[in-house]
Structure 1
């Protein structure tokens, strides 16, 4: 069997780093990871400027190279996370200044896509926790700009969203229509099951955390599903998300218990990855 992790983070500063993560995942049958950059402060970069994001891009590419050297295929994503909006807002960067910082980061991302230094955008989106209306508006406006860039470069986008079920999925479908987003490489990241079901209905891609991919979720046989660990690679927060190597272990147990068959596992672990990321084992 081939196993994929459709969304994870690595942190070579305080965590395992992509080299050790990919080596362990490979031993469990892993063939692919979607490697998503963390905000600058996770790497100890404190300055709030575009140069900090250039350093993040450099770190991401070094991490991707380390994973590829271990025989794992990788796509690289970088974005402007809704939590960054909240963090900068609390530090006094608000409104227009905050949006303009996000826009500069997206311009950097666009250049990286153009020059082969990135494969997609992520995470961008809306907060999934209580925050101010203004911050949600800033986050969503940045997301719209990201969709416009991804539209132009045929790039995949990982969206961090509230888990509102149908209305969450439908709002993204409407934004795709409004921005002329035709190629369909939209992924609703860390989806709850009701949001995943609605995304399926509306023809959207989505990732389900392996922790949420329980027997009930498996029984739905969702066609567009991909599985993620959402590993954050922070030894100070163990258990916040799953480890990548939990994915093959859980799926193998489902196979042994006849809850899924190999054809469906191949669809989720390989076919859908090829469809949304353009890579194959």
Structure 2
């Protein structure tokens, strides 16, 4: 069987790096990864500037190439994470300054997308943890700007959101409707069971964390799996080992399920190959 990790991060300066991750994942049957950038300060680019994001994007491009050199199909995403809103406000920037920085970052991302160096935006969205109302509003405003840009270019987007079940999925569907976005490439990232269920009902693609909601979704009778992907959300931080999951836990999960006949090969193929090829628009292996 072949396996995909539809959302993970790598950090060559402090962690494994993409080459090592790709090598180990491929050995376990991996064929595809969606590589998502971390905020610049995670790589040591601590200056609050567009140049820090340019360095981050260049690092992401190199990491993607490193994973490809190990034989994986790779798409790369860069964004403006809602945690960056909180971080920059803590550092003393005004809300307007944070918004203006995000606009410049999206212009930079757009340039890299036009050159074919990266494939979309991620992560953007809303905080899933407690924050002030005005920070939440700012984060959502930035998310809408990102969605408008991505939908204009039919680019991928990975959304980082609260896990509110129906209200989260319905809200994103309403926003997409309001901005006349017909893209099927807006992905709700790291959804819990209830949010994943409603995402499926509303036709929104979503990534299922291998350690949590994947198990419950698979055991739900009659659920359509067409829009679901599987992710590790690996953060590649030695200080927080396995805080989410490792990419190679995806093959381990499915292999054990197959051995116990708790899942069919057709289901594994749909989640790891068919849906990946359709949503990410990559050729199947």
TM-score over 0.5 (shorter chain): yes
- CA gap 1:251/1:120 in 2 versus in 1, 3 angstroms: same
Contact 2:10 2:16 in 1 (8 A): yes
TM-score normalized with structure 1 length: 0.98
Matches of 1:57 and 1:215, distance apart in 2 = 34
Matches of 2:51 and 2:71, distance apart in 1 = 31
Which residue is equivalent to 2:38? Answer: 38
Which residue is equivalent to 2:111? Answer: 111
Give 1:257 deviation, angstroms. Answer: 1.2
- Segments of structure 1 that go 5 or more residues without pairing to the other structure are none
Runs of 4+ in 1 over 3 A off after TM superposition: none
User: Per the alignment, in what secondary structure is the counterpart of residue 159 of structure 1?
Assistant: strand
Give 1:213 deviation, angstroms. Answer: 4.0
Matches within 5 A, 1:44-123: 44-123=44-123
The equivalent position to 1:243 in structure 2, one of 243, 246, 252, is 246
Matches of 1:46 and 1:77, distance apart in 2 = 20
Instruction: Tell me the number of residue pairs that the alignment of Structure 1 and Structure 2 aligns.
Output: 281
The equivalent position to 2:234 in structure 1, one of 223, 231, 234, is 231
Give 1:275 deviation, angstroms. Answer: 1.2
User: Per the alignment, in what secondary structure is the counterpart of residue 74 of structure 1?
Assistant: strand
How big is each residue's C-alpha offset from its partner over 1:60-80, in whole Å with a ceiling of 9 and x where there is no partner? 000000000000000000000
Which residue is equivalent to 1:207? Answer: 207
Matches within 5 A, 1:180-199: 180-199=180-199
TM-score normalized with structure 2 length: 0.97
- CA gap 1:263/1:180 in 2 versus in 1, 3 angstroms: same
How big is each residue's C-alpha offset from its partner over 1:21-60, in whole Å with a ceiling of 9 and x where there is no partner? 0000000000000000000011011100000000000000
Matches of 1:259 and 1:194, distance apart in 2 = 22
Give 1:114 deviation, angstroms. Answer: 1.2
Which residue is equivalent to 2:23? Answer: 23
Contact 1:197 1:222 in 2 (8 A): no
User: Per the alignment, in what secondary structure is the counterpart of residue 123 of structure 1?
Assistant: strand
Contact 2:168 2:195 in 1 (8 A): yes
User: Per the alignment, in what secondary structure is the counterpart of residue 75 of structure 2?
Assistant: strand
Contact 1:85 1:139 in 2 (8 A): yes
Which residue is equivalent to 1:137? Answer: 137
Matches of 1:86 and 1:101, distance apart in 2 = 13
